[in-house]
Amino acid sequence: MSAQATDHLIEEPLITSNATFKGISDQVSGVVEAKATKPYLAALAVASSGLLLFLIAVTYLLMEGTGIWGITNPIGWGLAIVNFVFWVGIGHAGTLISAVLFLFRQKWRTSINRFAEAMTIFAVICALLFPGIHVGRMWVTYWFAPVPNQMDLWPNFRSPLLWDFFAVGTYFTVSLLFWYVGLIPDLATLRDRATSKIRRTVFGVLSLGWRGGNRQWRHYELAYLILAGISTPLVLSVHSIVSTDFATSIVPGWHTTIFPPYFVAGAIFSGFAMVMTLAIVSRKVFKLENIITLYHLENMNKIMLVTGMMVGYAYSCEFFIAWYSGNLYERFAFINRAFGPYWWAYFSMIFCNVVVPQMFWSKKLRRNIAVMFAASILINIGMWFERFVIIVTLSRDYLPSSWDYYSPTRWDWFAFIGSFGLFFTLFLLFLKYVPMIAMSEVKGTFPEANPHHKGHH
């Protein structure tokens, strides 16, 4: 059996201490069962203040219209689409960890998959809000949906904006299902540990009466495998379809076939950076260093190094093609991108996304918490700038008479900062009320979980 054949190849234990079935149950459930601590409540207060800012920004937008934003005629999309692409991208690491690494039988994923999946769902919620508020006329947002409107007009099925509705809507639904299916056995654990009636009832309803019998596990495992199998092509297709928002337009700097793979690599890159930021803080605050170990963090850094190089390759390839195409507009778009009025955004992006991850070649830096925390923040900033750089390409299009310099207003920034408030509020609630580590999956990676374990001794 391959599981036994590869056991000796794992150099480090996945769980460094407390590695018993009971130990994992107690430790992970303990976070949910304990009373909320003061630092947690303080963090929740900060996050929900951010959420309040978001609500204020959206309310004012509803009252006044998109004129309060800095969007102008050459740049009609502005920060709303930057934030949309940024948040959808963040989500991709969660699906990659839960689906792609599952198919590759990467056992280390079990310590981080639960909260990476939660991050996916909350990031996609943030993402979906931006096109929703950007339409300006909130009462007709249902025009996104593939239904005829009151004048019997159908939306255009050949438009990337409709594709987005299908791709991101499907992505959200499938991620939510995947997350919930993974949660069922752990919710049953919480139900069985519950000491109060209300707790037992709530978790009893949520866990659907799960009994952990193999007659249930066998369907469950197959459902999980099917979800992983279809999520893998889905995660690759979602950001590809998002990239067609740009790539199908006839705009220099956007109309390129490299966009789909380049967007997918960037999405995974930024998503892992966000998982890293969240993991470093959560493992410290909730004392889970024995479950999310340096080994897990190092593996994530390796993935960031690889995807960072892919992104760097895409940046240079774009420049090469701009020159090689012989198209004057294309060449201008790229020279303008690096040396035009937005040079500062371009070089921030290059520094954060291409230069910073290079330090992960060193094993010492790869295993240094402070270094990887700083790197994860810088990469997130860099990936936000990547989308910003793409958007402001529009500021200098074909006609010099229509050129303009786009600067976001405070209401643009309030909506963006506020979306972090929404994200962190949801994430903090998740950390406290749902097991943040997939207990049943972590237990399944133990040597004692193998039915032939005793035969080796």
Partner 1 sequence: MSEKIKKDDTMTVVLGEFSSASDLYHAAEKMRDAGYKGFDCHSPFPIHGMDQAMGLGRSLLAKVCFVIAISATLGMIGFVYWLSNDYKLVISGKPFFSYIAYVPPIWAVGILTCALTAVFGMFAFNKLPQPYHPVFNSDNFSRATQDAFFVSVESGDPQFELEKVKSFLSSIGGKNIEVVQG
Question: Contact with partner 1 (CB under 8 A): which of 39, 213, 326, 400?
Answer: 213
* Identified binder of partner 1 from the candidate list 7, 12, 33, 221, rule CB under 8 A: 221
Q: How far is the CB of 238 from partner 1 (least distance, A)?
A: 9
Place of tokens 């220099």: 252
Q: Is 193 in the site for partner 1 (CB under 8 A)?
A: yes
Phi, psi of 352 (to 5 degrees): -70, -40
Query: Which residues ranging from 127 to 146 are in contact with partner 1 (CB under 8 A)?
Result: 146
Choice from 109, 191, 337, 432 touching partner 1 (CB under 8 A):
191
Q: Interface residues for partner 1 in 240-269 (CB under 8 A)?
A: 241, 244
Closest approach, Cβ 105 to partner 1, in A, equals: 12
Q: Are 99 and 235 in contact (CB under 8 A)?
A: yes
For partner 1, the closer of residues 189 and 393 by Cβ is 189
Q: State phi, psi for 185 to the nearest 5 degrees.
A: -65, -35
Over the range 119-140, which residues count as b (16 or more CB within 10 Å of their CB) and which as e? bbbbbbbbbbbbbebbeeeeee
> Judged by CB, which is closer to partner 1: 4, or 362?
4
- Determine how many CB atoms are found less than 10 A away from the CB of residue 9: 6
- DSSP secondary structure string, 39-106? HHHHHHHHHHHHHHHHHHHHHHHHHH-GGGS---SS-SSHHHHHHHHHHHHHHHHHHIIIIIHHHTT-
Closest approach of Cβ 179 to partner 1, in Å? 11
Secondary structure of residue 293 in the 3-state scheme: coil
Is residue 47 within 8 Å of 428, Cβ to Cβ? yes
162 near partner 1, rule: CB under 8 A: yes
d(CA 56, CA 62): 10
Binding mask 24-63 for partner 1 (x = CB under 8 A): -x--------------------------------------
What whole-number distance in Å separates Cα of residue 102 and Cα of residue 113?
10
For residue 134, the minimal CB distance to partner 1 (Å) is 21
Q: Do the beta carbons of residue 435 and residue 285 sit within 8 Å?
A: no
CB of 127 to partner 1, least distance (A): 16
Of 21, 329, 347, 420, the residue at the interface with partner 1 (CB under 8 A) is 21
Is the CB of 3 or the CB of 34 nearer to partner 1? 3
| Interface with partner 1: number of residues (CB under 8 A) | 70
From 120-128, 161-169, 276-284, 362-370, span contacting partner 1 (CB under 8 A): 161-169
Which C-beta is closer to partner 1: that of 176 or that of 309? Answer: 176
In the complex, least distance from residue 96 CB atom to partner 1, rounded to whole angstroms: 16
Phi-psi domain of 359 (left: phi exceeds 0; alpha: psi -120 through 50; beta: other): alpha
Contact status, residue 416 vs residue 380, Cβ threshold 8 Å: no
Contact status: 163 vs partner 1 (CB under 8 A): yes
Q: Is 12 helix (H, G, I), strand (E, B) or coil?
A: coil
Give the binding site for partner 1 (CB under 8 A): 3, 20-22, 25, 146, 148, 153-154, 156-158, 162-163, 166-167, 169-170, 173-174, 177-178, 180-181, 185, 188-189, 191-193, 204-205, 208-223, 226-227, 230-231, 233-234, 237, 241, 244, 439-441, 443-444, 448-455
